[in-house]
Amino acid sequence: MEESKMNNAAKDGGEKQSKKAVITVVGHDSIGIIAGVAAACAEFGVNICEITQSVLSDYFVMIMIVDIDGLVGDFSAFVDAMAAHGRERSLEIRVMHENIFDSMHEI
């Protein structure tokens, strides 16, 4: 109920209907980071649209743009689950709704 109201607010508040989110992952590089994040997304019915990733002196940085149209459950549960997934692997994982980027960078 709260979530559906939240989605409506996002639609009306933003300039266009918006169903994407951005996931950023930062931490020490290790094997299987992308696999783990992708699996966690799949569990929530979140589709990956784009990945930009690099490793700079053992530091792993990834930005994923994901489609949350088919999100199972509410957005904040997804945010919490991804953050928890990150903590278990000593990674910092943030999920942000795309409206914040549109607001800030588009006139």
Query: Contacting other proteins (CB under 8 A), which of 39, 55, 84, 96?
Result: 96
5 binds other proteins (CB under 8 A): yes
Q: Identify any residues that bridge with 97 across adjacent strands, giving them in sequence order.
A: 21
Q: How far is the CB of 77 from other proteins (least distance, A)?
A: 10
Residue ranges in 48-77 that form contacts with other proteins under rule CB under 8 A: 52, 63, 65, 75-76
Q: Quote the DSSP letter at residue 92.
A: E
Q: At residue 61, what are phi and psi to the nearest 5 degrees?
A: -130, 125
CA angle 42, 92, 98 (to 5 degrees): 60
19 binds other proteins (CB under 8 A): no
Question: Which of 40, 95 has the CB closer to other proteins?
Answer: 95
